[in-house]
Amino acid sequence: MTPKFSGWRKSSYSDPDGKCVQVARSSSGTVGVRDTKELDRGPILELTSSEWTAFLTAIRAGS
């Protein structure tokens, strides 16, 4: 069963042309990531909390 994500948000630094991603948490605590150009039609990448933390750490490190 696909988790229900709520409270989708995007960074205030997002591209004004809509080229960005949104993130949200599910009721089970996973993090969903989706493309704003696809929204309800596109896939949602689902990450555990530890995967999300590792992802953010890698981005901040420039990986």
Q: Provide mean pLDDT across the span 37-55.
A: 92
Band (1; pLDDT cuts 50, 70, 90): low
Proportion of the chain above pLDDT 70, given as a percent: 95
pTM of the model: 0.80
Q: For 25-46, what is the mean pLDDT?
A: 91
H or E stretch covering 33: strand 31-35
Q: Which residue range(s) make up the domain with 23?
A: 5-10+18-60
**Domains in the chain, number:** 1
> Any alpha helices (H) in the chain, and if so which ranges?
49-60
